[in-house]
Each structure stands twice: as structure tokens, then as C-alpha cells.
């Protein structure tokens, strides 16, 4: 039986808050890509703490990825899937460009922060980085542009376990931040809770075993 | 001075939970479109309560819309803007279709739930409904399809005030749900809070003035 660890909304909020200075300092993100569904909530919270000195928000773009075996079960911790399915990809629009064909070109030369809730088997993150890097490389070549695009990663939790997916060394070594590293526990996020007060009680009870 | 009303994460969670049965019963959504950034968090929470009997999740697609005047200030309640800017539009992909040109066609004939955090001036919601209906109509004609597509709306809060934007009668009368209706207060959502514990204290203090 896998140990369950309960994470409250305020835990998530504080993990984003405490991680923000390092993200700003080291990754200097100009765009957030949230991996949905799990990345939506941390990405939106994190954005509040990444506000620029001029008061501007960093834009969030969402991509939808799901691990096929548990597409829809909502309990990825139990049986992590192996095949990533795209549910939504990028379609970045600016005031000047209302055509989606330019979507990827807006990534070129930017510092881009990919946000998800958990790095479990790393399969989804590998897929996201690989596909985004591929799209950017293709567009760069097509447009004759050579600026370096830097992807960085933020997750609330990284499970310290053998990973199925791999990430580029450069990201692992210097552009990867997990607010907490855990053992291979079952992380119960608040947005999955049916009874949020019971969830909070269980979180409070776990005391020093919390993450 | 506009009255501030503090909304906690657990308030948001419970508003989604209590609204879910009516949404399932009356709107029968097959797809959620979250208006980002404010719609990301309620959309993700709501999805947990809209799980189908077969255990399948409803897919969330994100669109990014911002009111131009406050693009980036993060305080829409103070000075609502008037011009809507698209930051991200739909790019729905299925396993079978990896081309984004088919994105809109997946909406045809579906019950689609549009989710945002607040209906303030209604400008953003009008834009979202108008543009989605236009895209669907264009694609339906192109593909020779005649199924009816039904858009419904869920927001956490509707401000009872004169609206700048308008919605189709059909939606207003039978496919619009606001978990709470408020006066023209300043709604402080938790994801904007710097100090979440102070935010929760202020929420607790407001007692019966809460929403």
C-alpha cells in the first residue's frame, strides 16, 4: 500500500511563493507553458509571484497532455501510463498575428518555463520538452533565426525514483526546480479532493510526514 | 472605496462542488473551455466533480483572453478594460488528428462549458461566446454539418451590475450558472494573494459579508 500524502491549497500556494525568487533569478521566464490538467493551478498561482517590476504578468499558455493508460481516471499516482496523448497544443496569438501558424515562432529566443504539478515517471515532461524543442527548431530553421530558446521546468513535487523519461542534461543540471522532493508516495492534491475539509484534516494529521 | 471580499481556495473548491450537480444535470458538458488566467483554477477543480460514471474526465481546453486596459496589472476589479485580446485560442488535438486545422470541428454538436472566475462587465464572456460560435458556424458550414452546438457558462461569481457585454438570450435564460451573485464588490481571489494566511484571516473576519 502506497503512503498517501495530502497537499493543501495553501501548501501549493506557499510552494509557488517560495520557489518564485529562484525562478526569477535563475530561469528569468518570459512565458509559462502549463501542462494541463495538473499544471493549471500551480501555473496560475506562480504567475502572481513572477510579476515583473513594471507590473506586467507573464503570459500562460496551456498544453494538454495525458498519459494514455490513465486518461481520465484522475489517479495518475496509482498506475502511471506510458504513452503521452496530446489534448491541446500551442496556439499562441498576439494582437498582430491572429493566425495560429505563427504560434511556435513566438517561442524562439525566449526563456520558457514549463509547469506541471508532479514529476512522477518523467514521461510527460520528456514529451513536452522534446516536442517543444522540435517545434522550435523547425520554426527557427524555417525563419532563419538562430536565437537560443531556453526551456526550464518547475514542478511542485519530484518523486525520487527511477524515471522512465529523460530530460536534457542542461535542464536537469541548471534549469529544473522541484519545490519538494519526495519518496515514491501517493500525492493527493487538493483539486482532486471530494471533501476539502476532510482533506485538510488529513493533511494536518500527517504532521511532520508532510512534504 | 470599493468593498473587498476575500475568497479562499476552499471557498472556490466548495462553490465548484455545489455547482457540479446542476451543471451535469442541466448543461451535460462534454468539453470544458477555461478562460485563462482566471478560469484555470475553477475549471480544474470543477473537472473533478464532473467525472463521468465511467470514470472519465471531461477534457479541458484553455483559451487566453485579457482585457486590454488591464493586461498584466492583475487587478481587473479596479479598472475593467474594454478591449479583449486573444493570448491563446483553441488547438484541440485528438490522437487521430494531429493537425490544428481540425481544432474547431471537434466542438461541433457538443455541449461546451465555458468557465471563468468572474462575470464582471461581461465583456470577456461576450467575446468568448461570440468568437466560439462564429468559428463553429464557419466550420459547420465548411464541413456540411448541422448538429447544434450548445455553449453554457459557469462562473464562480456574477456581479449584479450594468454589463457592457451581452450574451445570447438562450444562454442567459437556461445555460448560465454563477455559483454566487454579488454586488459590485472587489473580489479578492486566493491565487492573487501574497500572504495566503493573512488572506484567509481576512476572509474569516468578513463573516456574514462573505460570498
Write down the pLDDT at residue B94: 38
Query: What would the pLDDT profile of A163-205 be if each residue is shown by its tens digit?
Result: 999 999 999 999 999 999 999 999 999 999 999 999 999 999 9
For position B99, what pLDDT does the model report?
Answer: 44
Instruction: Give the C-alpha separation, A166 to B17, whole Å.
Output: 37
Range of weakest confidence among A93-107, A124-138, B26-40: A93-107
Q: Please determine, for residue A72, whether its predicted confidence score (pLDDT) is greater than 70.
A: no
**Range among A50-54, A72-76, A137-141, B153-157 rated most confident:** B153-157
At residue A91, does pLDDT exceed 90? Answer: no
Average pLDDT along chain B, 211 residues, taken 10 residues at a time? 94 98 96 92 97 83 76 52 74 43 77 97 95 89 92 98 96 98 97 97 82 60
Active site residues of B: 120
Contact A133, A151 (CB under 8 A): yes
Which is more confident, B168 or A103? B168
Its ipTM equals 0.88
Chain A residues within 8 A of B194 when measuring between CB atoms:
17, 48-49
Selected residue of A9, A79, A85 to mutate for chain B interface (largest B Cβ count, 10 A): A9
Task: Assess whether pLDDT exceeds 60 at residue A94.
Answer: no
Average pLDDT estimate for A60-87 = 68
| Cα nearest neighbour of B84 on chain A | A95
pLDDT score for A102 = 57
Query: With an 8 Å Cβ cutoff, are B45 and A191 in contact?
Result: yes
Q: Which residue has the cell 501510463?
A: A81
Angle in degrees, 0-180, between the axes of helices A40-49 and B40-49, rounded to the nearest 10: 160
| B45·A10 Cβ contact <8 A | no
Half-sphere exposure of B189 (CA within 13 A, CB side): 25
Residue with the bigger pLDDT between A100 and A23: it is A23
> Taking CB atoms and an 8 Å limit, are B61 and A88 in contact across chains?
yes
pLDDT of residue B83: 81
Amino acid at each position: 500500500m502506497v503512503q498517501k500524502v495530502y497537499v493543501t491549497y495553501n501548501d501549493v500556494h506557499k510552494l509557488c511563493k517560495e520557489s518564485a525568487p529562484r525562478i526569477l533569478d535563475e530561469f528569468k521566464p518570459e512565458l509559462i507553458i502549463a501542462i494541463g490538467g495538473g499544471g493549471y493551478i500551480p501555473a496560475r498561482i506562480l504567475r502572481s509571484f513572477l510579476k515583473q517590476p513594471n507590473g506586467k504578468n507573464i503570459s500562460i499558455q496551456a498544453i494538454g497532455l495525458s498519459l494514455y493508460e490513465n486518461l481520465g481516471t484522475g489517479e495518475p499516482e496509482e498506475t502511471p501510463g506510458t504513452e503521452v496523448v496530446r489534448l491541446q497544443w500551442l496556439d499562441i496569438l498576439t494582437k498582430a498575428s491572429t493566425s495560429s501558424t505563427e504560434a511556435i515562432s513566438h517561442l524562439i529566443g525566449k526563456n520558457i518555463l514549463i509547469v506541471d504539478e508532479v514529476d512522477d515517471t518523467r514521461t510527460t515532461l520528456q514529451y513536452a520538452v522534446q516536442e517543444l524543442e522540435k517545434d522550435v527548431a523547425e520554426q527557427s530553421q524555417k525563419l532563419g533565426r538562430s536565437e537560443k530558446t531556453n526551456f526550464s521546468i518547475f514542478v511542485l513535487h519530484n518523486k525520487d525514483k527511477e524515471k522512465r523519461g529523460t530530460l536534457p542534461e542542461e535542464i536537469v543540471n541548471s534549469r529544473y526546480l522541484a519545490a519538494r522532493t519526495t519518496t515514491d508516495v501517493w500525492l493527493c492534491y487538493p483539486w482532486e479532493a471530494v471533501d476539502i475539509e476532510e482533506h485538510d484534516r488529513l493533511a494536518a494529521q500527517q504532521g511532520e510526514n508532510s512534504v
